[in-house]
């Protein structure tokens, strides 16, 4: 049985194709202005990746903020459930999922079967979301993808006291003008952002193991900062792009639906 | 001569007031420089030269504002809350609820009938509802911040911002601009978003009349009028001096009291 999951986020669209319990194709594209086009594009890449055509897919579940608009989806499921399902499939010992997307952040607690017990969701404040890092990368004129690597070269500890994107950006500009080293500034930004994320996670209570998903989970510097803030190890997705967790969860739900 | 001064070094502007016998004889307002000491010196110097005085003529000087701990020439420093409360009372002796919106913060203070602080709340964690929000939006609309207030009265169909966060609201505004909405309708929506945030703070300390506004945003008539509607109360105009220098006035009054208490 071949199924697919499609996750239409604010900044990127993701698709995952599964056969049985194996991921056989995936696609990630930057979201354009039209969610339907983005979904089609991500799906086309995933199909190409698996060498299949659309007719072979028995069931497709859509998730993400654009989920209701996807014409080829058979069903929709919430982002919370999909992220929990995807993370749990990858790491069965996971009980807490921290998912940071381009414009939101979620903390999800699961039971031993991977069912959602409690969650918290922030899309009201840009702090603690991918946008925080995006704005700072812009201000520092570095690539978003390299922030983790650059922060590992930090030698001196700096403190960024603001968590608000707007105020923290001002602090960054002052630090640059003071002649502070970019790796030190980036490390301080990771710490500030981790503080914001940790306070959200702690408010629903953490249970081991903790796993981080979403595009921001590709940033090794944030992983380190978050582990420090939570005083616990934070796991990463094994052998899988953390950005496709939601799409993976949607595919797993499609798979279960088609079995019934 | 008992000449005193108050110096309020804020995040975006620095203010100085020189008083003699309970009257303002000079005041100055400048954009903040790279460090609080430089801002304080520059603004004080301007106020002094306007009055034809030198620093030696000042018998007592009190500092306030976020940079107050870093001003070398002050005799003492006092919190912004106390200074704004005192300054507002001088501007309007009946003031009981004061809403102060500065460049990077927003405060609400409730005073008892003698002017003592009963309750206060402040937001300096989030840019929304502070002068910064207004500044970011004015820049997007490409109009001077001083002109933001007048947009409200020109607007016939104000937009409603769904996001509170400055970052998300910025994205909303760009969409409104691109979809051809009028500048005045967007500006009116920005002013009303500011008023909404301020109303939350004001209500949480409790509203008692007279209600007054201090800080730079008090000069934005759009925000003031929206806030009046939201609170269902008149906001008393303070014509005695610029509401933006209320903190520095309060500091100067405390300086006068310190001097009197000492002599």
* B99 and B75 within one domain: no
Using beta carbons and an 8 Å cutoff, which residues of A are at the interface with B? Answer: 103, 124-126, 131, 135, 162-167, 177
Measure CA A62 to chain center.
16
* A55 and A166 within one domain: no
Instruction: Give B210 to chain A, closest Cα distance, Å.
Output: 32
* B52 and B105 within one domain: no
User: Within 10 Å of residue B125's Cβ, how many Cβ atoms?
Assistant: 14
Residues of B in contact with A167 (CB under 8 A): 104, 125, 127, 132
- The answer to whether A135 contacts B166, with C-beta atoms less than 8 Å apart, is no
pLDDT by 10s per residue, chain A, length 260: 899 999 998 889 999 999 999 999 999 999 888 889 999 999 999 999 999 999 999 999 999 988 999 999 999 999 999 999 999 999 999 999 999 988 999 999 999 999 999 999 999 999 999 999 999 999 999 999 999 999 999 999 999 999 999 999 999 998 998 899 999 999 999 999 999 999 999 999 889 999 999 989 999 999 999 999 999 999 999 989 999 999 999 999 999 998 87
* B263 and B165 within one domain: no
What are the b/e assignments for A193-211, b being 16+ CB within 10 Å? bbbbbbebbeebebeebbb
Q: Give percent above pLDDT 70 in chain B.
A: 99
* A122 and A10 within one domain: no
What is the arithmetic mean of pLDDT over B17-21?
Answer: 95
User: What is the C-alpha separation between B47 and B28, in angstroms, rounded?
Assistant: 5
Contact B19, B25 (CB under 8 A): yes
* B248 and B163 within one domain: no
Contact A123, A103 (CB under 8 A): yes
> CATH no. for residue A54?
3.30.420.40
Instruction: Give A93 to chain B, closest Cα distance, Å.
Output: 36
Question: Which pLDDT tens digit goes with each residue over B206-238?
Answer: 999 999 999 999 999 999 999 999 999 999 988
Q: Has residue B174 got a pLDDT over 90? A: yes
- Structural domain count, chain B: 2
Q: Residue B30 belongs to what domain range?
A: 1-92+241-263
Question: Which pLDDT tens digit goes with each residue over A43-71?
Answer: 999 999 999 999 999 999 999 988 999 99
- The answer to whether A166 contacts B125, with C-beta atoms less than 8 Å apart, is no
* B102 and B197 within one domain: yes
Question: ipTM score here?
Answer: 0.86
DSSP-assigned letter for residue B205: H
- The answer to whether B132 contacts A131, with C-beta atoms less than 8 Å apart, is no
* B191 and B61 within one domain: no
Q: Give the nearest chain A residue to B165 (CA atoms).
A: A125
Q: Give the nearest chain B residue to A164 (CA atoms).
A: B126
Measure CA A218 to chain center.
8
* A11 and A98 within one domain: no
If you write DSSP's letter for every residue of A80-108 in order, what string do you get?
HHHHHHHHHHH-TT--EEEEE-SS-EEEE
Q: Give the nearest chain A residue to B123 (CA atoms).
A: A164
Backbone angles phi, psi at B33, to 5 degrees: -95, -170
* B130 and B21 within one domain: no
* A103 and A39 within one domain: no
Q: Give the nearest chain B residue to A178 (CA atoms).
A: B34
* A8 and A102 within one domain: no
User: What is the C-alpha separation between A207 and B184, in angstroms, rounded?
Assistant: 51
Q: From the list B34, B104, B168, which residue is nearest A167 (CB)?
A: B104
* A102 and A66 within one domain: no
Q: From the list A126, A162, A177, which residue is nearest B165 (CB)?
A: A126
User: What is the C-alpha separation between A91 and A114, in angstroms, rounded?
Assistant: 10
Helix (H) or strand (E) holding B233: none
- Structural domain count, chain A: 2
- The answer to whether A167 contacts B165, with C-beta atoms less than 8 Å apart, is no
The pLDDT, as a whole number, for residue B115 is 86
Q: From the list B34, B163, B167, which residue is nearest A165 (CB)?
A: B167
Q: Residue A76 belongs to what domain range?
A: 1-91+242-260
* A74 and A150 within one domain: no
> CATH no. for residue B54?
3.30.420.40
Residues of B in contact with A162 (CB under 8 A): 125
* B18 and B105 within one domain: no
* A247 and A169 within one domain: no
* B143 and B111 within one domain: yes
* B141 and B87 within one domain: no
* A165 and A200 within one domain: yes
Q: Has residue B263 got a pLDDT over 50? A: no
Q: From the list A103, A164, A177, which residue is nearest B126 (CB)?
A: A164
* B254 and B229 within one domain: no
User: What is the C-alpha separation between B48 and B58, in angstroms, rounded?
Assistant: 9
- The answer to whether A126 contacts B164, with C-beta atoms less than 8 Å apart, is no
Across the A:B interface, residue pairs with CB atoms under 8 Å apart total: 35
If you write DSSP's letter for every residue of B6-53 in order, what string do you get?
EEEE-SSEEEEEEEETTEEEEEEEEE--SSHHHHHHHHHHHHHHHHT-
- The answer to whether A162 contacts B163, with C-beta atoms less than 8 Å apart, is no
Q: Has residue B150 got a pLDDT over 90? A: yes
* B230 and B123 within one domain: yes
Q: Has residue B262 got a pLDDT over 70? A: no
């Amino acid at each position: 049985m071949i199924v697919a999951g499609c996750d239409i986020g604010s900044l990127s669209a993701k698709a995952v194709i599964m056969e049985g319990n194996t991921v056989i194709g995936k696609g990630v594209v930057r979201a354009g202005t039209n969610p339907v086009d983005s979904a089609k594009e991500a799906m086309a890449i995933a199909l190409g990746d698996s060498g299949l055509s659309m007719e072979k897919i028995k069931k497709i579940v859509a998730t993400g903020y654009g989920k209701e608009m996807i014409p080829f989806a058979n069903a929709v499921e919430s982002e919370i459930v999909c992220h929990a399902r995807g993370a749990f499939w990858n790491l069965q010992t996971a009980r807490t999922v921290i998912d940071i997307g381009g414009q939101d952040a979620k903390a999800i607690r699961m039971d031993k079967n991977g069912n959602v017990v409690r969650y918290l969701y922030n899309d009201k404040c840009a702090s603690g979301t991918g946008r925080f890092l995006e704005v700072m990368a812009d201000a520092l004129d570095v690539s978003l993808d390299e922030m983790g690597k650059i922060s590992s070269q930090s030698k001196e500890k700096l403190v960024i006291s603001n968590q608000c994107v707007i105020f923290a950006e001002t602090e960054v500009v002052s630090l640059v003008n003071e002649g502070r080293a970019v790796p030190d500034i980036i490390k301080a930004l990771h710490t500030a952002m981790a503080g914001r994320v940790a306070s959200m996670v702690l408010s629903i209570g953490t249970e081991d193991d903790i796993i981080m998903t979403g595009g921001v989970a590709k940033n090794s510097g944030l992983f380190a900062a978050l582990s420090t803030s939570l005083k616990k190890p934070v796991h990463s997705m094994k052998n899988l792009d953390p950005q496709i967790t939601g799409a993976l969860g949607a595919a797993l739900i499609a798979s279960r639906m088609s079995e019934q | 001569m008992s000449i005193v001064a108050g110096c309020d070094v804020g995040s975006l502007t620095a203010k100085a007031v020189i008083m003699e016998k309970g009257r303002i004889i000079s005041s100055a307002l400048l954009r903040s420089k790279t460090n609080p000491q430089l801002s304080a010196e520059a603004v004080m110097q301007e106020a002094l030269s306007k009055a034809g005085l030198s620093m030696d003529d000042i018998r007592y000087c009190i500092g306030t504002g976020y940079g107050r701990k870093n001003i070398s020439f002050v005799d003492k420093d006092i919190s912004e809350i106390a200074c704004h409360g005192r300054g507002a009372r001088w501007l309007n002796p009946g003031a009981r609820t004061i809403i102060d919106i500065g460049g990077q913060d927003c405060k609400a203070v409730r005073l008892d009938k003698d002017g003592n602080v009963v309750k206060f709340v402040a937001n300096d964690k989030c840019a929304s509802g502070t002068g910064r929000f207004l500044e970011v939006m004015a820049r997007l609309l490409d109009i001077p911040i001083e002109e933001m207030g007048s947009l409200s009265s020109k607007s016939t169909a104000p937009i409603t911002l769904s996001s509170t966060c400055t970052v998300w609201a910025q994205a909303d505004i760009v969409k409104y601009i691109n979809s051809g909405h009028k500048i005045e309708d967007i500006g009116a929506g920005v002013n009303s978003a500011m008023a909404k945030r301020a109303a939350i703070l004001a209500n949480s300390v409790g509203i008692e009349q007279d209600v007054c506004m201090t800080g730079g945003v008090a000069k934005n008539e759009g925000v003031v009028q929206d806030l009046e509607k939201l609170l269902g109360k008149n906001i008393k105009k303070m014509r005695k001096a610029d509401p933006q220098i209320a903190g520095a006035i309060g500091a100067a009054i405390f300086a006068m009291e310190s001097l009197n208490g000492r002599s």
